[in-house]
């Protein structure tokens, strides 16, 4: 075989090998692979913006997740706003927010056609408790007593074992998912009597109003309890994660983060982070309950 023919064969083989190797090379990724719960598992920088709006009960958890997520992904800006579950569901369904945070299922607030356009991401469970001013000397109520207080049939604390002091109701607005959950599971669907009405669904405002109003009562997510108000037991069962997970304490809801259609990019990566093992300990630390810990469902 002459030298020129040998060189030609070698050149052809080299080109063929190069083509095969190029076809086997791994593609470059800029976001976490589908199903990944670790947003740091990327081969390139993640960029974009995420706007989450709605439930004030979920706001502390969403805010903490946003802060930690942005540390890992400096190219992403995650903004969390309150306003109530109704606001969150409306904003995400109209495309004005990427995520709608809600204590309620979408079909409980929206018409069926609109709710059907949303995808539900359950991130945790949160409990709710009736809360009172620190000087109220009542620690436990039966459900019947609680209903009578919130419907206006009982108006003085002495009628439920407390001091001779007027009961001051602190009402939450109609957009509040906390209000809807409390009405359904604590008040058996009864409508609240008129009280000191708050115009915005801010759990922080509820807490400070109850703390500063002698004789006051309202209700809060357990994630907002900081010692400034007292949480009441219901039928002898304290509002705590253990009683909620076991089904002994009934006033709780799933916390939903809805998207319009399946999420992608930074929105998907943020939701994956919330659902992942890395963030699970923060869910418990902030007063929420991982869905996997629940022994009951609804």
The one-character DSSP state at 32 is: P
Are 98 and 124 in contact, with CB atoms under 8 Å apart? Answer: no
Same fold? 48-124+253-293, 126-246: yes
How much is the pTM?
0.82
Each residue's pLDDT tens digit, 156-208: 999 999 999 999 999 999 889 999 999 999 999 999 999 998 877 889 999 99
pLDDT of the residue at 41: 46
179 CB neighbour count, 10 Å cutoff = 23
Each residue's pLDDT tens digit, 1-43: 444 444 343 343 343 434 333 443 333 333 333 333 444 444 5
The mean pLDDT of 256-273, rounded to a whole number, is 98
126 CB neighbour count, 10 Å cutoff = 30
CA distance linking residue 14 with residue 7, whole number of Å: 11
pLDDT of the residue at 256: 98
pLDDT of the residue at 33: 34
276 CB burial (10 A radius; 0-12, 13-18, 19+): middle
The mean pLDDT of 78-82, rounded to a whole number, is 97
pLDDT category at 110 given cuts 50, 70, 90 is very high
The mean pLDDT of 227-249, rounded to a whole number, is 97
CA distance linking residue 83 with residue 68, whole number of Å: 23
pLDDT of the residue at 174: 86
* CATH of 48-124+253-293 among 2.60.40.420, 3.40.50.620, 3.40.190.10, 3.50.50.60: 3.40.190.10
* CATH of 126-246 among 3.40.50.300, 3.40.50.2300, 3.40.190.10, 3.20.20.70: 3.40.190.10
In the predicted structure, residue 134 carries a pLDDT above the cut 60? yes
pLDDT of the residue at 1: 45
pLDDT of the residue at 11: 44
Each residue's pLDDT tens digit, 249-264: 999 999 999 999 999 9
The one-character DSSP state at 175 is: T
Q: What angle do CA 232, 290, 246 make, to 5 degrees?
A: 55
Q: How far is CA 155 from CA 87, 167, 168, in A?
A: 32, 5, 8
CA distance linking residue 99 with residue 106, whole number of Å: 12
CA distance linking residue 58 with residue 223, whole number of Å: 8
Instruction: Provide the residue ranges of all domains of the chain, joining segments of one domain with +.
Output: 48-124+253-293, 126-246
């Amino acid at each position: 075989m002459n030298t020129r023919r040998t060189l030609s064969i070698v050149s052809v083989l080299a080109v063929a090998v190069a083509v095969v190797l190029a076809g086997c090379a791994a593609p470059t990724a800029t976001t976490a692979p589908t199903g990944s719960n670790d947003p740091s598992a990327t081969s390139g920088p993640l960029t974009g913006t995420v706007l989450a709006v709605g439930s004030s009960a979920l706001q502390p958890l969403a805010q903490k997740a946003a802060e930690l997520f942005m540390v890992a992904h400096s190219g992403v800006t995650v903004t969390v706003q309150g306003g109530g579950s109704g606001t969150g569901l409306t904003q995400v369904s109209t495309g004005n927010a990427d995520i709608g945070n809600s204590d309620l299922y979408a079909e409980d607030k929206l018409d069926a056609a609109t709710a059907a356009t949303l995808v539900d991401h359950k991130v945790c469970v949160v409990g709710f408790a009736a809360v009172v001013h620190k000087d109220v000397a009542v620690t436990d109520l039966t459900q019947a007593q609680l209903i009578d207080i919130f419907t206006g049939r009982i108006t003085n604390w002495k009628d439920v074992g407390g001091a001779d002091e007027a009961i001051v109701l602190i009402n939450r607005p109609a957009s509040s998912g906390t209000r809807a959950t409390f009405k359904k599971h604590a008040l058996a669907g009864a409508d609240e009597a008129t009280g000191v009405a708050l115009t915005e669904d801010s759990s922080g405002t509820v807490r400070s109003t109850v703390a500063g109003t002698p004789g006051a009562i309202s209700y809060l997510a357990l994630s907002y309890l900081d010692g400034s108000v007292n949480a009441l037991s219901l039928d002898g069962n304290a509002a705590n994660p253990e009683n909620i997970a076991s089904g002994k304490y009934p006033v709780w809801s799933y916390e939903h983060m809805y998207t319009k259609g399946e999420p992608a990019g930074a929105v998907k990566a943020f939701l994956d982070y919330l659902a992942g093992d890395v963030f699970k300990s923060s869910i418990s630390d902030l007063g929420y309950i991982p869905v996997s810990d629940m022994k009951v469902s609804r």
